[in-house]
Amino acid sequence: MHYQTASWGSYVAPSRSNAMVGVGGDPLERIERLASENAVVIFSISSCCMCHAIKRLFCGMGVNPAVHELDEDPSGKDLERALIRLLGTSSVVPVVFIGGKLVGTMDRVMACHINGTLVPLLKEAGALWL
């Protein structure tokens, strides 16, 4: 919620040549792109148990999130570093985007759920019906 995608757009570093196909561009850009591809996007690490918990949370609510496992992504390290810079904390996963907008880590997601703002957000993004 705190970051607009527009601001990311302004941060355009000279494109580094990534060996990976389809990866091109700056990590933040990539994050932004990935985040807007689905209603609910979670950046996670496959071995992280908290990530598992957050996946269970959304699934339990009937939401089908798009999960990007950073440890299974070739440029995962870059993405992770970019996320760290974005969030300002070192424990970045799991990180949740809803409707392309950053919601936050487990802390924020749970707070939003308890105070009743998560569900409307999900509905607005089309991730939940009824």
Partner 1 sequence: MESHRIIGGGGLGLSEAGPSATHHQHHHHVPTYGVLHGINTTNPSTLINEGHAFNFGELEEAIVLQGVKGRNDEGKAPLFTTAAAPPRPAATLDMFPSWPIRFHQTSRGGSKSGGESTDSALSTKTEPPFEAESPMSKKATTPSSLDHHDASRIIGPSSSSQAKSPHEKRKGAGSTSEKPLDAKTLRRLAQNREAARKSRLRKKAYVQQLESSRLKLTQLEQDLQRARSQGLFMDCGGVGGNLSSGAAMFDMEYARWLEEEQRVMGELRNGLQAPLSDGEMRGIVDGYLSHYDELFRLKAVAAKSDVFHLINGMWTSQAERCFLWIGGFRPSDLITMLIQQLEPLAEQQIMGMYGLRHSSQQAEDALSQGLDQLQQSLVDTIAGGPIVDGVQQMVVAMGKLANLEGFVRQADNLRQQTLHQLCRLLTVRQAARCFIVIGEYYGRLRALSSLWASRPRETLMSDDNNSCQTTTDLQMVQPSHHHHHHNHHHFPSF
Q: Which of the ranges 2-10, 28-36, 64-72, 115-123 carries the binding residues for partner 1, by CB under 8 A?
A: 115-123
Q: Which position among 23, 34, 87, 106 is part of the footprint of partner 1 (CB under 8 A)? A: 106
Q: Which position among 91, 120, 123, 126 is part of the footprint of partner 1 (CB under 8 A)? A: 91
Burial 39-57 (b: 16+ CB within 10 A, else e): bbbbbbbeebeebeebbeb
Nearer to partner 1, 38 or 44 (CB): 44
- C-alpha 58/C-alpha 104 separation (Å) is 14
Binding-site size for partner 1 (CB under 8 A) equals 21
User: Residue 54 interacts with partner 1 (CB under 8 A)?
Assistant: yes
Neighbour count for residue 85 (Cβ, 10 Å): 12
